[in-house]
Amino acid sequence: MLLFYTQFVSAQSNTLLLYGDIYYNHENQQSNNHEAVANSLDFSPGIGYQFNDHWTAGLEFSLYHAASKRDGSVNKSTTFSMGPFVRYQYQLTEMFSLIGHVNSQFRLTNLEKSRGFSLEAMPGIRMDIKNGLALNFFIGNIRFNSDRNKQSDTRVSRLNFNMGNSAGIGISKNIGLK
């Protein structure tokens, strides 16, 4: 599994926050007479406005594509998501800040004809390096998902709590507006 997270812009009032992440996963399973291959790619950019030294609000987008092949059968699925986010930053020292990022997204998936909604909160730490350049470390999340498959009229809800099991590392830079 490969996880790459890039983020541009840290906290300063009247700035534009651009960020995004890229996720890729490849899986290959082989047993006696069976072979299965699965690939998935997720690209998720976001853009927001920093109102003051603490608060940022904006929109996130996500395009997720998955393809799998098992014993000659091929399945492909594409999901588009978008929704608002809000981020709060609290300066601890000249170098370190706490970050709280909350987002919600609405999803549409083509293969299953499903629609969904998610709400997620992520804590993090920002480390300023030099001239507005910073590293961001996200250390877990709490997430609620609700999905409905229109073809089978199935509804699924999930609540996930993850602290320390996964992490995201980003780089940020302030882009000032005039």
Q: With beta carbons less than 8 A apart as the criterion, state whether 48 and 58 touch.
A: yes
Domains, the chain, ranges and CATH? 2-176 (2.40.160)
**pTM to 2 decimal places:** 0.77
Burial category of 32 from C-beta neighbours within 10 Å (exposed 0-12, middle 13-18, buried 19 and up): exposed
Comparing CA positions, the residue from 86, 120, 102 lying closest to residue 11 is: 86
Q: Residues near 137 by Cβ (< 8 Å), separated by ≥ 6?
A: 124, 125, 126, 127, 167, 168, 169, 170
DSSP at 155: E
CB 17 within 8 A of CB 46: yes
- Give me the pLDDT at residue 123, please: 93
Q: SS3 sequence, 55-124?
A: EEEEEEEEEEEEEEEECCEEEEEEEEEEEEEEEEEEECCCCEEEEEEEEEEEEEECCCCEEEEEEEEEEE
How high is the pLDDT of residue 168?
Answer: 77
Write out the two tokens for 71.
């014993």
Among 105, 86, 63, which residue's Cα sits nearest to residue 17?
Answer: 86
**pLDDT number for residue 9:** 38
* Residue ranges in the chain whose pLDDT is less than 50: 1-10
Residue type at 42 in one-letter notation: D
pLDDT recorded at residue 157: 92
Give me the pLDDT at residue 118, please: 93
What tokens does 96 get? 């370190």
Q: What pLDDT does residue 132 have?
A: 67
pLDDT of residue 106: 94
Burial class (CB in 10 A: 0-12, 13-18, 19+), 85: buried
Cα–Cα distance measured from residue 98 to residue 167, given in angstroms and rounded to the nearest whole number: 15
The reported pLDDT for the residue numbered 18 is 77
